[in-house]
Amino acid sequence: MNRVRPDRIRACNAWLGIARALLTFLLIGTSASADAQSGTAAAGADPHVLLQRYKCSICHDETQAKAGPAYAEIARHYRGRSYGRRNVLRVIKQGEHGGGPWNMPPHPEIPDREARVMAQYILAVHE
- Provide the binding-site residues for ligand HEC, judged by CB under 6 A: 54-56, 58-60, 67-69, 74, 87-88, 91-92, 96-98, 100, 102-105, 107, 118, 122
Residue 67 sits at the vertex; the CA angle it makes with 61 and 72, to the nearest 5 degrees, is 35
For 42, which DSSP code?
A: P
Q: Rounded distance, CA 96 to CA 102, Å?
A: 9
Residue number, 6 or 99, with CB nearest to ligand HEC: 99
In whole angstroms, the minimum distance from the beta carbon of 81 to ligand HEC comes to: 10
CB of 24 to ligand HEC, least distance (A): 18
Handedness of CA 88, 92, 95, 100 (dihedral sign): positive
**How far is it between the farthest Cα atoms of the chain?**
74
Helices 71-78 and 84-94, axial angle in degrees (round to 10)? 140
In the complex, minimum distance from the CB of residue 15 to ligand HEC, in angstroms, rounded to a whole number: 28
**Minimum CB distance to ligand HEC smaller for 7 or for 109:** 109
| Nearest to 87, CA basis, from 61, 48, 56, 122 | 122
Q: In angstroms, give the least distance from the CB of 97 to ligand HEC.
A: 5
Nearer to ligand HEC, 13 or 121 (CB): 121
Q: 17 or 95, CB closer to ligand HEC?
A: 95
